[in-house]
Amino acid sequence: MKTATRRLLLTGIAATLWLGAVVGGLGLASAYEARAGISADAPRAWPPRTRIARREGRVTVLLFAHPLCPCTRASVRELQRIAARGRDRVDITVVLAGAPAEPSALGVDELVVRRLLPTATVLVGEDEARTFSVRTSGQVLAYDERGALAFAGGITPGRGHEGPSVGGDDLLRIALGESPSRGHARVFGCALAGPRARSAQEH
């Protein structure tokens, strides 16, 4: 084989391996981003033992979020977008669970939520997450005016991704007084409790 041909062949092989690895890396990362967390097995009707107040005749939206999960900021922003359009019909409560919601440069604490969602109620602690059987940060539950579960799922298109999503669209419909198209969606975010805590919760 001539030197020039051999060199061309080697360059082609090297370029293919290089670009192949790039494509593989991006594919793996994309697959990770698209992997959903465990959805909540939420009560169909408003549970009586919860401390969260529900006003009759208004839609109650609950967001359960891990304060340090990088995806939380995206969920809060999506909720902010939806709340802005349905503020007359919606009461929002954000439950920060899974880790102490202390002020942190990288996390989402109570102050951040209050800044982004001024009308929202903020609760801290795992009790409400257990009450509503929520396991994944970013889980949103919407109960209609009569206290029936109207929507359960995430409102972001992927881990940490903002933008239009099936869950976000459904929640917006509910906020605007329309019927949701599906009523559920996949949740993208960190786990609110580790396996041990989760086991305790299940028992």
Partner 1 sequence: MTVAEATSSAIDSVTTRARAIELRDEHEQALFRTNDHRFAGLLVAQWFIAMVVACVATPRAWVGLSSEVHSHVLLAFLLGGWLAVPPVWLAVASPGSATTRFAIAAGQMGFGALLIHLSGGRIETHFHVFGSLAILACYRDYRVILVATLLVVVDHVVRGAMFPESIYGVATVEPSRWVEHAMWVAFEDLFLIATCLRAQREMWGIAERHAKLEAHREVERDMSEAREANRVKSEFIANMSHEIRTPMTAILGYADLLLDAKTTAEERRTHIQTIRRNGDHLLSILNDVLDISKIEAGRMTLEAVSCSPSAIIGDVASTMRVRAKEKGLSLDVQYATAIPETIESDPTRLRQVLVNLVSNAVKFTGRGGVRIVVRCQELSAGGTLTFEIVDTGIGMSDSQMTRVFEPFVQADSSTTRNFGGTGLGLAICRRLSLMLGGDLVVESQPGRGSTFRLTIRTGMLAGVRMFERWEEAGDSIQPPEANPEEQSHGRLDCHVLLAEDGPDNQLLVATHLRRAGARVTIVENGRLALERATASWRGGVPFDVILMDMQMPEMDGYEATRALRACGYDWPIVALTAHAMAGDRLKCLAAGCCGYLTKPVSRQGLIAAVAAAVQKKGASASASGDRESGGIFSEMADDPEMKDIVGMFVESLARNSVALEAALGDGDRDTVKRLAHQIKGAAGGYGFPSITVAAARLEVLAKGQGPIDEAVRELCAMCRKVRVVRGAA
Whole-angstrom distance, CA of residue 97 vs CA of residue 32: 23
Binding window for partner 1 (CB under 8 A); candidates: 25-33, 75-83, 87-95, 140-148: 25-33
Beta bridge partners of 136: 191
Where would I find the H helices in 39-194?
72-85, 110-116, 127-131, 166-175
Q: What is the phi/psi pair of residue 101, to 5°?
A: -90, 55
**One character per residue 49-68, x = contact with partner 1 (rule: CB under 8 A):** -----------------x-x
Residue 164 vs 177, nearer CB to partner 1: 164
| Residue 43 vs residues 8, 40, 107, 122: alpha-carbon distances, Å | 65, 9, 29, 21
How many CB atoms lie under 10 A from the CB of residue 176?
A: 14
Identified binder of partner 1 from the candidate list 60, 93, 133, 137, rule CB under 8 A = 137
Identified binder of partner 1 from the candidate list 61, 69, 76, 95, rule CB under 8 A = 69
Binding window for partner 1 (CB under 8 A); candidates: 46-54, 84-92, 138-146, 155-163: 155-163
Asked if residue 171 binds partner 1 (CB under 8 A), the reply is no
Which residues of this protein are in contact with partner 1, per CB under 8 A? 11, 15, 18-19, 21-23, 25-27, 29-34, 66, 68-70, 74, 98-99, 106, 137, 157-158, 160-166, 190-194, 197
